[in-house]
Amino acid sequence: MRALIQRAAEAEVTVGGSPAGTIGHGLLVLVCAMQGDDAAAAERLAGRVARLRIFRDDAGRMNRSVQDIGGAVLVVSQFTLAADNRSGNRPGFSSAAAPAEGERLYLHFVQALRDLGLPVETGVFGADMRVALVNDGPVTIWMDTADRG
C-alpha cells in the first residue's frame, strides 16, 4: 500500500459540499491499495503511520508520533498514488488494486488505525472529494509497504 502522510494543524474532506471527515491536530493520510496488497500490508502501514515520529517534542525535534500527542487521523482514498508516469503525458493507474479490493483494504487500514487507539475520520471511498489541509511545518512523508529497505 502507498500513503502520503501530511502533518496537519487541521484538515477536512467534503463530499458534495457536505463534510465527511474533519480533524484538528494530527495527520492527513492519502492512501492507495496496490495490486498484490493484502490485509497484512494494511496493518503494517497502519502501524508505521501510528508510530511515525514527525511531531515536535519539548526540545523542538520531530520525535513524537500521532499516538504520543493524542492526535487524530483523516484517511482519504487516493488511487492516483498508483500513477505511473514514466512514459507519455498521461499517467496510468493499472497498478492500483481493483476498486472492490481497494475499498476492502482501505477499510481494513482505517480499522487497523482505530484498533491502535487512534481517532480516525474518513472520506468516502471512490467519491469526488474536496480535501482542505493546513499542513503543519510543512511536513509531508511518503510510505510504500513495498519498500522493505
pLDDT of residue 148: 63
Cα–Cα distance list, 29 to 18, 23, 106, 133 (Å): 20, 12, 11, 11
The stretch 119-143 carries a mean pLDDT of 97
**Calpha distance 17→20 (Å, rounded):** 9
Q: pLDDT, tens digit, for every residue of 6-48?
A: 999 999 999 999 999 999 999 999 999 999 999 999 999 999 9
pLDDT score of 149 more than 60: no
Fold that domain 2-142 belongs to in CATH: D-tyrosyl-trna(Tyr) Deacylase; Chain: A; (3.50.80)
Phi, psi of 92 (to 5 degrees): -105, 150
Would you say 41 and 1 are in contact if contact means Cβ atoms under 8 Å apart? yes
Would you say 99 and 37 are in contact if contact means Cβ atoms under 8 Å apart? no
Q: pLDDT, tens digit, for every residue of 57-107?
A: 999 999 999 999 999 999 999 999 999 999 889 999 999 999 999 999 999
pLDDT of residue 88: 87
Cα 55 to its chain centre, rounded Å, is 16
What is the maximal distance between C-alpha atoms in the chain? 48
Active-site residues, by number, are 78-80
pLDDT of residue 53: 98
Return the domain boundaries, the chain.
2-142
